[in-house]
Chains A and B, each alone.
Chain A
């Protein structure tokens, strides 16, 4: 297991270098390597000698923050997806399906289309996305509670998630419908398709903090997650307060997802695919190694998906959400068919 993790870390580092070289401007891999090593370890002593300042600008200030953002978002969505699947005892749950992302989307659309001057710039979108995500998850939770008659059932949570998803999407459409600014509408559409093209060093901090916190919390609570995944009644009988755990973790995930979604828009299916790929590779859920697998694979997936988004069609960039959904959609169908063939467990 440790050997595999080591290999994955090496692959991750190679992916960072390789994906930085992909984009509209051609940057050879050896130059990326030189800039990264020189900047990190030699304080740019070879600037002007081995690479130009424009190379440095593209590699260090444009591509690297973007690749890092891909890594952060990939890790965050994957581990939150894994946690969500455990919380709802459903291997096909992810934050996107549960309506948290569409809630964030409605909030962000409101901020983009009808900006108010209380909060400045990008933080307004972040704040509204967070409010949207939290209201959405609160709605999902309340409706699920009413639907299951007290103690929350995972199925009713999924169903209410879908209903809230539809409501929030309708709300976003309504905001677009009544909006007057074409520029704003275009911004919302772009935002909804998910993109990390605008990533800069300064925009990395908030998502990074959210994802690191999520990682630490999930690692600390790993045993509780596993207990729940092995059976709800047994988890209760083994001393885990399942209701409290579910509520607190759902809210926490909503915070993390809101932070990510507010920066990147909706990047779908990552939280669904990566935990499954991880399970296929690991054949088990119960170890910190699985969690590390999931993080690294998630990070690499989004890094490469974003590289494809900026490299596949020359100068024209495809939104990241489109690439991940193109891969995620068929994979989701494949899972359903595979499950059906097994006799619909």
Chain B
């Protein structure tokens, strides 16, 4: 199920946050959005769920304008994992994952089965009865990922899911996304993770798309220098994998 933003503009308090941004996330691919802080990445994906309103442009889900869809219908097709999914109230992991079933009105299967299947997929069944607030940041991200599995959508939009996570959790999440056969649209900060896992990259700067294409097309030393103001080198290791290092 493809996700498409077409000429999207967002203005907040007389400031242009997004200027005619177009982006397309294809079926069964990981599409990454990368860019410096304040370049409009999170704003862009928040418009999809009406968390931020846009003044111009259109958003499509499989060629259907999302304005013609109810929020529950959208939620049946696309899951969202925000940057800081935390609550000041106490919930167990099981309860959080169960919330993924909210958009699905019909109760075709036992909800508990779906919840535990989702927890099993990420090997976190042991967390089920724990309070979400007692988990580490990485564990919590896995719980929200499990909720998106219980939500059973064709697409997932994620806002910096690997931030502040240790390397184990970063790879657990990215590996799941790579192998889940869903349309993934992900805001990501880590260039090397993006190089390794993304199929397509949109590099953003000052509310516009600076460059888009395959990781090799976008992640050039010149582009990184222009967008991030960082000088570095694109390297290849013995297995021909590409990685970026910042110059000392």
Contacts and interface: CB of A to CB of B under 8 A. Distances in A.
Do A and B interact? yes
Give the size category of B's interface with A.
Answer: 20 to 34
Contacts of A237: 49, 51, 75, 79-80, 82
A239 B73 CA distance: 7
A132 to B, nearest CB: 31
A61 interface: no
A285 interface: yes
B87 interface: yes
Contacts of B70: 239
A221 to B, nearest CB: 12
Interface stretch (B16-24, B54-62, B91-99): B91-99
A279 B86 CA distance: 18
A300 interface: no
Contacts of B88: 89-91, 345
A231 B86 contact: yes
Contacts of B90: 279, 283-285
A91 B102 contact: no
A345 B95 CA distance: 22
B87 A149 contact: no
Contacts of A285: 89-91, 95
Given A230-B87, A238-B100, A284 B71 contact: no
A183 interface: no
B75 A284 contact: no
Contact of B85 (A149, A231, A236): A231
Nearest to B52: A151
A286 interface: yes
B76 interface: yes
B35 to A, nearest CB: 20
Contact of A239 (B91, B98, B102): B102
A141 B236 CA distance: 58
B79 A286 contact: no
B103 A238 contact: yes
Interface string A88-132: 011100000000000000000000000000000000000000000
A233 B80 contact: yes
Contacts of A91: 88-89
A246 interface: no
Contacts of B89: 86, 91, 229-230, 279, 285
B99 A238 contact: yes
A226 interface: yes
A159 interface: no
B28 interface: no
A286 to B, nearest CB: 4
A238 B13 CA distance: 27
Residue from B49, B50, B75, B99 whose CB has the most chain A CB atoms within 10 Å: B99
Interface string B41-53: 0000010011100
Given A240-B71, A286-B92, A230 B99 contact: yes
Nearest to A283: B90
B81 to A, nearest CB: 8
Interface of A: 86, 89-91, 149, 223, 226-227, 229-231, 233-234, 236-241, 279, 283-286, 345
18 contacts: A90-B88, A226-B91, A230-B89, A230-B96, A231-B86, A234-B85, A236-B51, A238-B99, A238-B100, A238-B102, A238-B103, A239-B74, A239-B102, A240-B71, A241-B71, A279-B89, A284-B90, A284-B92
Given A89-B88, A226-B91, A233-B46, 8 more contacts: A230-B89, A231-B86, A234-B99, A237-B75, A238-B80, A284-B95, A285-B90, A285-B91
